[in-house]
Amino acid sequence: MAICGVLVFLSVISWTAVLAKWMFLRRSEKANRRFLEKYRASPQPLALYLTRERVEQAPMYHIYHEACRELAFYLVGEEEPGRAFSSRLQGAGRINASQMSAVHVAMERAVAAAATRLEARIGFVATALSAAPLLGLLGTVWGILEVFAALASGEAAPTVAALAPGIASALITTLLALLVALPSLVCYNGLAGRIRRMVVRLDNFAADLNGMLDRHFVDHHAPDESLPSLGGMGAPSLSVHSQPPGGALASMVKLSAAS
């Protein structure tokens, strides 16, 4: 009976985690759609950041906010928009490619944090899925051992009527374990696939946002101050003069010593 109680406890934990995660993903998807509508309707990439439009339940909003914070720091030296932020932004220039790489790193961190939040508590379902069959097998073996122990001690007659209740109670744990494991398996696969699709959408949004910010705020026409290569300067010309025998070897020795 103790194993049956553990299985019921695992079932409660699994279903609680499944329902909570399903509701969380549903809210996140709705918030993402609401944020994308506002983002696509904005006149320029930083418009939502300047007006302080907040969609806290949308993972895409957090990616957008972190990217804009990092970009604003390199543009005007401030992370949060203040009173003179818009005017300073209009007079700001462009950032270079290395600064844009820092903005890209900030977006990658935001995507990783969002993926971690999406995958939180899904481990409870995986634990119930893995532990339930083993607990069911343990309960079945334990019950059958008790039946054989009763036969060995002479407490029960070796008849089907006498053995059936003990074997039936042993098999109940297997049935209960399957009732816990099968729904957990279906729910885990469904949630894992849904989370993977949302993470892919977050990666795609981050890539699109990175390209948009790169086109609007990165200067790709910086002057090239690099020194010319030796290959571009051409090979040096060497003049050959008539020298007495041994003179060329002596000249090479002198040049080597001088260098």
Q: Using CA atoms, how far apart are residues 64 and 66, in angstroms rounded to an integer? A: 6
CA angle 252, 234, 226 (to 5 degrees): 115
Q: Identify the residue with better confidence: 76 or 26.
A: 26
Q: Is residue 9 part of a domain?
A: no
Angle at the Cα of 39 from the Cα atoms of 34 and 43, rounded to 5 degrees: 145
Mean pLDDT, the chain, as a whole number? 80
Tell me, yes or no, whether 237 lies in a domain.
no
Instruction: Return the bridge partners of 218, or none.
Output: 95
Higher pLDDT, 77 or 115: 115
**Which residues are CB-neighbours of 243 under 8 A, at least 6 positions away?**
251
3 — pLDDT class (breaks 50, 70, 90): confident
pLDDT, tens digit, 9 for 90 and up, residues 114-154? 999 999 989 899 999 999 999 988 888 888 887 777 777 76
Question: Is 258 or 98 the better-scoring residue by pLDDT?
Answer: 98
Cα separation, 142 vs 50, in Å, equals: 66
Does residue 3 fall inside a structural domain? no
Question: In 3D, which of 198, 183, 192 has the Cα closest to residue 16?
Answer: 183
Q: At what angle do helices 97-119 and 2-41 cross, to 10 degrees?
A: 140
**Residue whose pair of structure tokens reads 């957090």 in the numeric block:** 62
Rg for the chain (alpha carbons), in Å? 36
Residue 258 lies in a domain: no
How do residues 183-242 score in pLDDT, each as one tens digit? 999 999 999 999 999 999 999 999 999 999 988 888 777 554 454 554 554 544 544 444
Of 110-119, 169-178, 237-246, minimum mean pLDDT range = 237-246
The residue type of 123 is G
Count of domains for the chain: 1
98 inside domain: yes
Inter-axis angle of helices 97-119 and 160-217, to 10 degrees?
A: 160
Domain span at residue 201 reads: 15-217
pTM for the structure as a whole: 0.74
In a domain, 256, yes or no: no
Say if 140 falls within a structural domain.
Answer: yes
Interval 36-60: pLDDT, tens: 999 998 888 888 888 888 888 999 9
Q: How far is Cα 29 from Cα 101, in angstroms, rounded to an integer?
A: 28
Contact (CB, 8 A) for 139 and 166: no
CA distance 88 to 106: 23
Measure CA 102 to chain center.
18
CA separation, residue 82 to residues 85, 98, 106, 141, 218 (Å) = 5, 26, 21, 69, 23
- Assess if residue 236 is contained within a domain: no
Q: What's the confidence (pLDDT) of residue 252?
A: 44
